Amino acid sequence: MRSHFKKGSSNTCFNFANACARLLLLLSASLTLSIFSTAWAAETLPEEISVNAPVRMTTLKAEVNAAEDAMYDLFNTLNDDDRFDIYCMYAPMKGSRMQQRVCAPNYIRTAQEEEAQFALAFWGFAGAERGYAGTNAVEHYNNLLKEKMIEIYKNNPELQQAMNEVNTLKANYESVRKDRAGIE
């Protein structure tokens, strides 16, 4: 690269001063333009710009799940029988590797474990225990859970509010889903 400044040249100081003056002029022009554009923007642009982007379905579903978890946590705290505590987890759908959220009371999980043990014992697998209670026990517990939920719901406004919030969020999620899918 060729330099404008030559060693030993008498014009070196002059050339250097000239380059500095050009740089200073360029900076001042840039600063002036910046000041004018800022003043123009302040006069013509609104103070706040709102962007209304559609809410993602995953965000809506996460809100529903969080509200549901909070509601079940509250129910589990108010409930005095651990068999009726309700927990949510992700489990694979039948015939698929896709996961779905499943909320169930402890007695259902216990019944599923007993059913698996019964099936293993039926087929003769070692270590499997016999003694499966069957669906009658689950139906009995379903009725007891329903009674317990009604009793706790009636006596606890905080649980009522939590359930209403879950229902509102679920309705909103379904409404948005149907709207985006074009379903009436």
pLDDT in tens, the chain (184 residues): 454 444 554 455 455 555 655 655 555 555 555 555 555 555 666 677 788 888 899 999 999 999 999 999 999 999 999 999 999 999 898 899 899 999 999 998 888 777 777 777 777 665 555 555 556 678 888 999 999 999 999 999 999 999 999 999 999 999 999 999 988 7
Contact 7, 16 (CB under 8 A): no
Q: Do 14 and 91 share a structural domain?
A: no
Q: Which residues pair with 87 in a beta bridge?
A: 104
Q: Do 77 and 43 share a structural domain?
A: no
What local confidence, expressed as pLDDT, does residue 51 receive?
82
CA dist., res. 21 & res. 15, Å (int): 10
Q: Do 148 and 86 share a structural domain?
A: yes
What local confidence, expressed as pLDDT, does residue 5 receive?
46
- Does the residue 4 lie in any domain? no
Task: Give how many domains the chain has, as a whole number.
Answer: 2
One-character DSSP codes across 54-106? PPPHHHHHHHHHHHHHHHHHHHHHH-S-GGG-EEEEEEEPTTSS-EEEEEEEH
- Does the residue 132 lie in any domain? yes
Q: Which domain holds residue 26?
A: 9-52
- Does the residue 113 lie in any domain? yes
CA dist., res. 98 & res. 15, Å (int): 73
Q: Do 34 and 100 share a structural domain?
A: no
Q: Do 62 and 21 share a structural domain?
A: no
- Does the residue 131 lie in any domain? yes
77: left (phi over 0), alpha (psi -120 to 50) or beta: alpha
Q: Do 99 and 81 share a structural domain?
A: yes
Q: Do 26 and 77 share a structural domain?
A: no
Contact 85, 79 (CB under 8 A): yes
- Does the residue 15 lie in any domain? yes
Cα angle 26-30-35, degrees, rounded to a multiple of 5? 150
Burial label, 153 (beta-carbon count in 10 A; 0-12, 13-18, 19+): middle
What local confidence, expressed as pLDDT, does residue 129 receive?
57
Helix (H) or strand (E) holding 148: helix 135-155
CA atoms within 13 A on the CB side of 74: 19
What local confidence, expressed as pLDDT, does residue 29 receive?
53
